[in-house]
């Protein structure tokens, strides 16, 4: 269900841009999703395909790439890759960043890995004669 | 890049458009607009999240009955299809607005923006928002509330907390409800409390049983009400 509501938000944005730029057809959309969004890539593409039926994005190729997690430590200022604690946190195939690799503080902020980014579109435009 | 150049395009030419927009960020921005509305009207707001059936509505009813002479309370209830929860809130003695989310699995800041327009904001000073029963999606969609409260119950088993670290990380208060059933379910409540601490050491944890009337004062204290 989560994939459908995210797909809907993405598609609304795409159709909005298409409208503004007088697109005849949307050829390709590049989307990046953070690995911590819990979004399943295949399910998201499926949802986009279902929802885009009978719209200008009907034949669109949806490319999705996954953004790796980056954290910032609020204690020591470390910024970079997250480390993972204990096997019990490997849930749903996600590894959960829980503390700072440098000072081990749990006061961390996730700076990358939670986004749903519509990066760019390839559109076919219509020129009025 | 070449913005000043006049592009000559033939009919049917393919164009590249850069967008670079984070769709979750748009929600966050709207959430901060909601927060401003609450602050301007001196309304304390609480986003009540949690799994289906964990006791969100029961806890809100419980708080309303206890606090209705002290606060002017309203509730926004998100439900997939029915208006049952909204009716229960009215019975407990507070104004309530129902949002039917259809097949959506969480409330978002825009839905709240629309719902608060229907409330008489001058007439209330405490707002509970009951999110859709779900421990995954609501974590990605802040609503702009002052407090995030997550309600889980022992009937969801011993791994409920560690299986949902993201929503626990977003929580200011975690309520572990239905402790009257802990023995029967063979769930160790202290272990659940510890799990919360490992994921989010600043969250307050309250253990409750609405059925047996345990933990209400601790909850009111945690909510600073
Ligand atoms: N034994 C026991 N039952 C409880 C307790 N709190 C709530 N319940 C029962 O649990 C069921 C679900 O409670 P609700 O308050 O409707 O839960 P909810 O989280 O609002 O449910 P949804 O809105 O459907 O997701 C009801 O039958 C309640 O009577 C408790 O502390 N102990
Ligand atoms: Mg409910
Ligand atoms: Zn650190």
**Closest residue, chain A, to B197 (C-alpha):** A106
| Residue from B51, B52, B58, B89 whose mutation best tests the ligand 1 pocket (most atoms within 8 A of CB) | B58
Residue nearest to atom 11 of ligand 1 (CA): B53
Instruction: State how far the Cα of B92 lies from the Cα of B65, in Å rounded to an integer.
Output: 6
Could you tell me which residues come within 8 angstroms of residue B117 by beta carbon, excluding any fewer than 6 positions away?
none
B165 touching chain A per CB within 8 A: yes
| pLDDT reading at A91 higher than 50 | no
**Closest residue, chain B, to A88 (C-alpha):** B162
| CB-nearest partner of B20 from A92, A96, A119 | A119
- A-B Cβ pairs (cutoff 8 Å, strict): 91
Delimit the domains of chain B by residue range.
13-222
In chain A, which residues fall in CATH 3.30.2320.50? 3-68+113-124
Does the distance separating the beta carbons of A123 and B17 come in below 8 Å? yes
- Which run of H or E residues covers position A62? strand A61-67
CATH code for A3-68+113-124?
3.30.2320.50
Q: Which of A69, A64, A63, A65 is nearest to A94 (CA)?
A: A69
Could you tell me which residues come within 8 angstroms of residue B217 by beta carbon, excluding any fewer than 6 positions away?
none
| SS3 at position A43 | helix
Rounded to a whole number, what is the distance in Å from the CA of A49 to chain B's nearest CA?
A: 17
B58: left (phi over 0), alpha (psi -120 to 50) or beta: alpha
Structural fold of domain B13-222:
Rossmann fold (3.40.50)
Residue nearest to atom 14 of ligand 1 (CA): B55
Return per-residue pLDDT of chain B as tens, 225 residues: 434 444 445 556 788 888 888 888 888 899 999 999 999 999 999 999 999 999 999 999 999 999 999 999 999 998 766 678 888 888 898 989 888 776 667 888 988 999 999 999 999 999 999 998 888 778 778 999 999 999 999 999 999 898 888 889 889 999 999 999 999 999 999 999 999 998 888 999 999 999 999 999 999 999 999
């Amino acid at each position: 269900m989560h994939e459908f509501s995210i797909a809907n938000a993405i598609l609304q944005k795409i159709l909005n841009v298409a409208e503004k730029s007088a697109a005849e057809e949307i050829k390709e959309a590049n989307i990046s999703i953070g690995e911590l969004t819990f979004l399943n890539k295949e399910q998201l593409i499926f949802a986009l395909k279902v929802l885009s039926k009978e719209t200008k994005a009907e034949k669109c190729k949806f490319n999705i790439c996954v953004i790796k997690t980056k954290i910032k430590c609020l204690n020591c200022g470390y910024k970079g890759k997250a480390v993972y604690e204990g096997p019990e946190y490997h849930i749903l195939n996600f590894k959960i960043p829980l503390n700072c690799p440098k000072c081990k503080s749990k006061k961390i902020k996730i700076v990358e890995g939670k986004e749903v980014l519509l990066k760019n579109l390839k559109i076919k435009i219509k020129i009025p004669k | 890049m070449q913005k000043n150049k006049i592009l000559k395009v033939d009919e049917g030419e393919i164009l590249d458009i850069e967008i670079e927009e984070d769709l979750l960020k748009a929600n966050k921005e709207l959430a901060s607009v909601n927060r401003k509305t609450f602050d301007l009207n001196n309304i304390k707001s609480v986003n009540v999240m949690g799994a289906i059936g964990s006791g969100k509505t029961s806890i809100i009813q419980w708080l309303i009955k206890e606090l209705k002479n002290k606060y002017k309370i309203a509730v926004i209830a998100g439900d997939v299809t029915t208006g049952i929860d909204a009716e229960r809130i009215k019975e407990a003695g507070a104004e309530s607005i129902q949002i039917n989310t259809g097949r959506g699995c969480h409330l978002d800041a825009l839905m709240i923006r629309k719902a608060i327009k229907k409330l008489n904001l001058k007439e209330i000073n405490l707002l509970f928002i009951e999110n859709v029963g779900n421990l995954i999606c609501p974590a990605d969609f802040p609503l702009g509330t002052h407090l995030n409260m997550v309600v889980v119950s022992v009937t969801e088993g011993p791994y409920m907390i560690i299986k949902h670290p993201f929503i626990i990380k977003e929580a200011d208060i975690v309520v572990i409800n239905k402790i009257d059933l802990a023995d029967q379910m063979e769930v160790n409540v202290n272990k659940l409390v510890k799990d919360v601490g490992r994921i989010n050491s600043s969250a307050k944890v309250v253990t409750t049983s609405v059925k047996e009337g345990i933990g209400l004062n601790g909850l009111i204290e945690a909510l600073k009400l």
